[in-house]
A and B are shown apart, each in its own frame.
Chain A
Amino acid sequence: MRKTKTKTVTSTTYLRPTDLNDLQQIMAEHQGRAAVVAGATDMIPQMRAGRTLPAVLVDLCEIAELSFIREEHGSIAIGATTTMAKLASSPIIASGSPFLATAARQVGHPQTRNRATIGGNLANASPSADTAPPLLALGAAVQIMSPDGAIRDVPLHQFFHSYRVTDLGEGDVLTRITFPRPPDGAAGRFTKIGLRSASSISVASVAVMLEMEETTCRTARVAAGSVAPIPMRVFRIEELLEGHEIGETLVEECSELLRAEISPISDVRGSDKYRSYVASAVLKRQIEMAVADRRTFGA
Chain B
Amino acid sequence: MPENRTRPAYRIIGKAAPRPDAWAKVFGDTAYAHDYTVPGMLCAKVLRSRHPAARVLSIDTGDAEKLPGVDAVLTAKDVPNNETATRFGQTHQVGGFEGLYRVLAEKKIRFKGEAVALVAATSEAVAEEALGLIHVEYEPLEGVFDPVEAKQAGAYQVGEDESNVICSYKVRKGDVEEGFKLADVVVEQTYRVPMVDHAYLEPESGVAWLDQDGVITIRSATQVIEHFRGIADVLGVSHNRVRIIAPMLGGGFGGKEDITVETYLALLVWKTRKPVSLTYTREESIRSHGKRHPYVMRYKTGATKAGKLVALEAELTSDAGGYVYLSPWVLLYSTVGATGPYDIPHVKVDSETVLTNNTFSSANRGFGAPQVCFACESQLDELAKQLGLSPLEIRRKNYLRTGDALATGRVLEHSVETEQTADRALEALGEPSGPSSPTERIGRGIASSMTSYGRMTFLHDTSRALVSIEMDGSVSVRCGLQDVGGGQASSLAQIAAEVLGVPMEDVTVYVGDSALTPLAGTTTATRLLYMSGNATKKAATAVRHSLVKKAADLLDVDPEELAMGDRQIYSAGDPDRAVALERVVKACAADGIPLYDVAQFNAPARELIDFQTGQGQVFPDFTFGTQAMEVSVDIETGAVKVLKIVSCYDVGQAINTLSAEGQLHGGALYGLGYGMMEEVVLDKGNTLTPSFAEYLIPSAVDVPDVKTIMIESGGGVGPFGAKGLGEPSCVPAAAAFANAVSDAIGARVCDLPVTPERILKALGRF
Q: Enumerate chain A interface residues (CB-CB to B < 8 A).
A: 1-9, 45, 109, 193, 195-201, 267-271, 273-274, 276-278, 281-282, 285
Contact = CB atoms under 8 A, between A and B. Distances in A.
A271 B757 CA distance: 8
Given A195-B756, A269-B694, A281-B636, A1 B699 contact: no
B234 to A, nearest CB: 26
A270 B698 CA distance: 18
A30 B688 CA distance: 36
Contacts of B691: 45
A109 B137 CA distance: 43
Contacts of B688: 267-268
A197 B702 contact: yes
Contact of A3 (B135, B636, B689, B696): B135
B126 interface: yes
A2 B637 CA distance: 48
A270 B638 CA distance: 12
Contact of A198 (B125, B132, B701): B701
B693 A9 contact: no
A4 B136 CA distance: 7
B685 to A, nearest CB: 15
8 nearest CB pairs, A to B: A274-B757, A6-B132, A198-B699, A281-B636, A197-B701, A9-B125, A268-B688, A198-B701
A199 B699 contact: yes
A6 B133 contact: yes
Contacts of B137: 1-2
A1 B138 contact: no
Given A1-B60, A4-B136, A195 B637 contact: no
B129 interface: yes
Given A1-B60, A2-B138, A200-B696, A195 B689 contact: no
Given A1-B60, A273-B766, 12 more contacts: A2-B138, A4-B133, A4-B135, A5-B132, A7-B129, A109-B699, A193-B637, A195-B755, A198-B701, A198-B702, A274-B766, A277-B760
Given A9-B126, A199-B699, A274-B766, A1 B693 contact: no
B188 interface: no
A7 B698 CA distance: 35
Contacts of B677: 195-196
Contacts of A3: 135
A278 B761 CA distance: 12
Given A7-B132, A198-B699, A281-B636, A268 B681 contact: yes
B485 to A, nearest CB: 23
Nearest to A273: B766
A45 B135 contact: no
B135 A1 contact: yes
A200 B639 CA distance: 13
Contacts of A109: 699
Interface string B115-132: 000000000011011011
Given A268-B681, A271-B757, A277-B765, A198 B700 contact: yes
Nearest to B676: A196
A8 to B, nearest CB: 6
Contact of A7 (B128, B637, B694, B696): B128
Contacts of B766: 273-274, 276-277
7 contacts: A1-B137, A2-B137, A9-B126, A9-B129, A267-B688, A268-B689, A278-B636
A109 B693 CA distance: 12
Contacts of B129: 6-9
Given A4-B132, A268-B689, A278 B701 contact: no
A226 to B, nearest CB: 13
Q: By CB atoms of chain B within 10 A, which of A193, A196, A285 has the most?
A: A196
Contacts of B131: 4, 7
A1 B58 contact: yes
Interface residues of B, number: 41
Interface of B: 50, 58, 60, 125-126, 128-129, 131-138, 439, 636-639, 641, 677, 681, 688-689, 691, 693-694, 696, 698-702, 755-757, 760-761, 765-766
Nearest to A281: B636
Contacts of A200: 696
Nearest to A5: B132
A95 to B, nearest CB: 26
A269 B688 CA distance: 10
A268 B694 contact: yes
Nearest to A284: B636
Contacts of A281: 636-637
Contacts of A9: 125-126, 128-129
Contacts of A282: 637
Contacts of A269: 694
B761 to A, nearest CB: 8
Contacts of B693: 45, 201
Contacts of A268: 681, 688-689, 694
Nearest to A204: B637
A45 B283 CA distance: 12
B260 to A, nearest CB: 21
Given A4-B136, A196-B677, A197-B701, A278 B638 contact: yes
A39 B601 CA distance: 56
A197 B126 CA distance: 40
A8 B60 CA distance: 18
Contacts of A277: 760, 765-766
Given A195-B755, A274-B766, A4 B134 contact: yes
A193 to B, nearest CB: 6
Contacts of A198: 699-702
A273 B766 CA distance: 7
A58 B282 CA distance: 28
A269 B677 CA distance: 10
Nearest to B690: A49
A288 to B, nearest CB: 10
B637 A278 contact: yes
Nearest to B69: A9
Contacts of B58: 1
A274 B132 contact: no
B136 A285 contact: no
Contacts of B698: 196
A69 to B, nearest CB: 26
A270 to B, nearest CB: 5
A6 B755 CA distance: 40
A198 B135 CA distance: 43
A3 B133 CA distance: 8
Given A7-B129, A196-B702, A197-B699, A285 B134 contact: no
A267 B128 CA distance: 30
B252 to A, nearest CB: 24
Contacts of B699: 109, 196-199
A1 to B, nearest CB: 5
A270 B128 CA distance: 34
Contact of A196 (B132, B637, B696): B696
A200 B696 CA distance: 8
Nearest to A191: B637
A2 B761 CA distance: 45
Given A9-B129, A282-B637, A270 B757 contact: yes
B115 to A, nearest CB: 15
Contacts of A193: 637, 639, 756
A219 to B, nearest CB: 26
A7 to B, nearest CB: 5
Given A7-B128, A7-B132, A193-B637, A274 B760 contact: yes
